[in-house]
């Protein structure tokens, strides 16, 4: 295993990170014992980076139990920010919520510190200085080692770095954006900005939420395509592009998933790519591709299919800024439009 440095933290992590969403019994593997065995197998294979979140059901509890006796061997990351119930104050990135949420995560994870504590999504309602101030206090207390973001636009990353420098606060050391053969938009701004500020990058969705495994094909029906909540599997542009990648993988003598994972970790600004297996067979398939390296010829072919810096459709759960999501932020009041 060739370990990589997580930004400028000095922390060494594996190029594959084990995502723990699918260990939650409500959405993934219903057997916590099986999930624990998968965690142990990943650790034995050399993966030392585990990523979870407070909003992933009982994932933190399952990870915490599985790491008993092995906690010191793991770089443990979790996140705060997604709603935790109906209370409007049990979400976001306010000091009030962060100082409560971190204690809850520490208890569920059965640990006295979190190696990487990430803001799950940007919180436009909270001043970034308040967020950084609360996170800085957690670092000083020893409860958190480093802090990061997830889904933060490049302009917000720059603002956060500027505020941290001006106010003498802890800096965000990592960013966790979506990235895959189908979604390369972060190559345009997010990756260069992260590199400029010495941030590690932990990418999610390298398999296109299942599309790039080769198990979802155009014109075929399967369990994933029948899941109405997964909108991107019905996007014909994405499915057509997947067909081209499946053909390329065949020419290269690789399973499609290995092509996708090797692409994600080939970018020099990407530190690790999150794998999110639900079953042991999924994990075995992914571990078999750990040492795959793509040639320049294959990378050139990938650029022809999806040009650098472009997206084919969007991933479900990708962050959408309020200015795009909310019509009222794009339109003047009717009275002002009439007057104009």
Cα–Cα distance, 244 to 250 (Å, whole number): 10
Q: Give all strands (DSSP E) within the chain, no chain letters.
A: 4-5, 12-13, 16-19, 49-51, 75-80, 114-119, 144-150, 172-176, 200-203, 272-275
Which sequence positions are flagged as catalytic?
56
CATH among 3.10.20.30, 3.20.20.100, 3.40.50.2000, 3.40.109.10 for 4-339: 3.20.20.100
- CB 241, CB 312: distance < 8 Å: yes
The pLDDT tens digits for 156-187 are: 999 999 999 999 999 999 999 999 999 999 99
Q: Which helix (H) or strand (E) holds 158?
A: helix 154-167
For residue 83, is pLDDT > 90? Answer: yes
The pLDDT tens digits for 224-279 are: 544 444 555 667 899 999 999 999 999 999 999 999 999 999 999 999 999 999 99
What is the structure's pLDDT at 235?
78
What is the structure's pLDDT at 265?
98
CA dihedral 40, 265, 290, 145 (to 10 degrees): -20
pLDDT band per the 50, 70, 90 thresholds, residue 316: confident
For residue 128, is pLDDT > 80? Answer: yes
Cα–Cα distance, 224 to 216 (Å, whole number): 7
What is the structure's pLDDT at 214?
84
What is the structure's pLDDT at 321?
85
- CB 51, CB 19: distance < 8 Å: yes
Cα–Cα distance, 208 to 201 (Å, whole number): 17
Cα–Cα distance, 185 to 180 (Å, whole number): 9
Angle at 143 between CA 140 and CA 147, to 5 degrees: 75
What's the mean pLDDT in 285-289? Answer: 95
pLDDT band per the 50, 70, 90 thresholds, residue 25: very high
| Domain locations in the chain as residue ranges | 4-339
Number of residues assigned to the chain:
340
């Amino acid at each position: 295993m060739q370990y990589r440095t997580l930004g400028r933290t000095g922390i060494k992590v594996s190029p594959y990170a084990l995502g723990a969403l699918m260990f939650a019994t409500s959405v993934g593997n219903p057997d916590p014992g099986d999930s624990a065995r998968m965690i142990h197998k990943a650790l034995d294979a050399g993966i030392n980076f585990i990523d979870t979140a407070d909003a992933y059901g009982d994932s933190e509890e399952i990870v915490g139990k599985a790491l008993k006796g092995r906690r010191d061997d793991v770089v443990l990351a979790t996140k705060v920010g997604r709603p935790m119930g109906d209370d409007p104050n049990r979400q976001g990135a306010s000091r009030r919520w962060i100082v409560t949420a971190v204690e809850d995560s520490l208890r569920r994870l059965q640990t006295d510190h979190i190696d990487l504590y990430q803001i799950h999504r940007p919180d436009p309602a909270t001043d970034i200085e308040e967020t950084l101030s609360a996170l800085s206090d957690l670092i000083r207390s020893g409860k958190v080692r480093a802090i990061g973001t997830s889904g933060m636009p490049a302009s917000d990353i720059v603002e956060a770095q500027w505020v941290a420098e001006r106010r003498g606060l802890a800096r965000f050391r990592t960013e966790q954006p979506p990235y895959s053969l189908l979604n390369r938009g972060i190559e345009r701004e997010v990756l260069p900005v992260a590199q400029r500020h010495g941030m590690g990058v932990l990418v999610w969705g390298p398999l296109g939420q299942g599309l790039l495994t080769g198990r979802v094909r155009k014109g075929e029906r399967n369990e994933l395509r029948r899941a109405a909540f997964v909108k991107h599997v019905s996007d014909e542009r994405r499915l057509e592009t997947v067909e081209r990648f499946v053909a390329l993988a065949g020419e290269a003598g690789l399973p499609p998933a290995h092509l996708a994972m090797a692409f994600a970790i080939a970018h020099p600004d990407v530190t690790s790519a999150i794998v999110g297996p639900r079953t042991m067979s999924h994990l075995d398939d992914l571990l078999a591709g750990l040492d795959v390296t793509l040639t320049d010829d294959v990378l050139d072919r990938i650029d022809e299919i999806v040009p650098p810096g472009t997206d084919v459709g969007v991933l479900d759960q990708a962050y959408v800024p309020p200015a795009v999501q909310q019509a009222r932020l794009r339109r003047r009041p009717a009275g002002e439009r009439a007057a104009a």
